[in-house]
Amino acid sequence: MRAKIRGVAPLAGWTRSGGRALIAMLALHLILTITAPEAQAVGLEGAPLTVGPAVETARLSRLAVSGNIGDRFNRTRRNDGDTMAGHLKMYKDGAVVYGTIIEEAPHVNFPASVPPDYYNFMCAPWWDPRNPPYLWGRNLTRPEIDAILLARGDPPDGDLTFKIRIDERKLAPDFWTMGFVFAGGNNTAGQIQAKLADGGDEMEVELIMYGKPADCDHAGNPGESLLPGWADTQWSVLLDGRPINGQIALGSPAGLGTTQVPAILGQPLSVGTLVRITGFLALDCHAEFWDLNWTGDCEEEEADVHNVEIHPAYAIDIGVDPCRSEADRLSQLESALNALIAQLHIPREAAERVNPDVLERRLERAQAQINAWHAQHDAELGQLQSRLASAACRIQWQTEPRSTPR
């Protein structure tokens, strides 16, 4: 458990589990970031390191990448001349996380007008650095343009990406204690945890387009698939147990080198969609195109650099929440209560400047409002909490019993 002191405040509230914390006067307000542990991992040789719940064990036995995963990363080519190993800092294979899509719907770093075959991905004959598609619709500064056209005039990388906010409570019990075997164990779980804690548990999910060893000179015979890709029909990323096989809906251009992806296999993916992601937990060590000061560091010790990813993703499962309306109502109630509690938050410096009698009356009024809120809503709150904790409100997953080609 980690704790950060964020100020001085009285507390009065109702936790989601139903416990009330009431402090009448000023008290030290500790915001606790509690890190829960995680899911079954797959090690360097692809063999399970631990035995997780039966369902997850069965899923991962189908999704695990056979062979030495480090070697596969070293051999998998990107279309910028680098490899997967050169692009990422490796932490854990076979990671399973649960979360909600945030900020925007998925997008893919590939133009809608170009067939998504391996030759077009790796050789990019359609790419013209003088007028690249990823500049359309964006106003860039001259230094940004120079950085793109002169220093890093690579084609879009073909990754299909979106951001999620993970729910650490749903991670398997040994998520943070097992599977961190890369770099002799120096790529630690703590480095990832610190970044997630600072970034509100945000994580990027990236589906690579192809995971093959061939460069452009050998694109006509690219060889076996080393990692699953969304456009690869030999070894494809799964959606609800079905190979994607390039079947994504392409929408409008969405900025730098991207095209909107409103649906995969006909299944809409949008902000708020519940997902379960299986893949490789890593840090992105690749700068933004216009970052002229980037040194190539993965910044693993910088908690405020939020570069945690599942990359590549092996499978996406979409969850159905049968109690979404109840969950939304509970969120409304909790937000209203938190707004009342915020009236009690008085910074130390401000409290010292206020007459003690005035401060006491202010706290008493705020506490009276909180007490009235509890009298009005505690019964409903308890009912919602009980309902959401019941089996009837468990998230339903649509995973089909279909294995990958491996």
Residues 374 and 267 both lie in one domain: no
pTM over 0.75: no
pLDDT attached to residue 43: 30
One domain, residues 152 and 250: yes
Cα separation, 101 vs 261, whole angstroms: 13
State residue 141's pLDDT score: 60
State whether 125 and 172 are in the same domain. Answer: yes
Q: What is the pLDDT of residue 4?
A: 30
What does the pLDDT read at residue 111?
A: 86
Question: What range defines the domain where residue 337 resides?
Answer: 2-34+324-397
CA-to-CA dists, residue 108 to 136, 239, 255, 263, angstroms = 15, 16, 10, 11
**In which residue ranges of the chain is pLDDT below 50?**
1-66, 136-137, 149-152, 289-292, 400-406
Helix (H) or strand (E) holding 91: strand 88-108
pLDDT at residue 257 in the model: 62
**Terminus-to-terminus CA distance in the chain, angstroms?**
39
Write the pLDDT tens digit of every residue in 23-34.
232 332 222 222
How far, rounded to the nearest angstrom, does the alpha carbon of residue 326 sit from its chain's CA centroid?
25
- The helix or strand, by DSSP H or E, that contains position 57, with its residue range, turns out to be helix 54-63
Q: What residues contact residue 146 under an 8 Å CB cut-off, 6+ apart?
A: none
Q: Assess whether 308 and 383 both reside in one domain.
A: no
290 and 169 in one domain?
A: yes
What is the helix (H) or strand (E) element at residue 311, kind and residue range?
strand 308-320
43, 77, 82, 236, 295 from 211: Cα distances, Å: 19, 7, 12, 10, 26
The domain tally of the chain equals: 2
**Is residue 171 within 8 Å of residue 97, measured between CB atoms?**
yes
205 and 95 inside one domain = yes
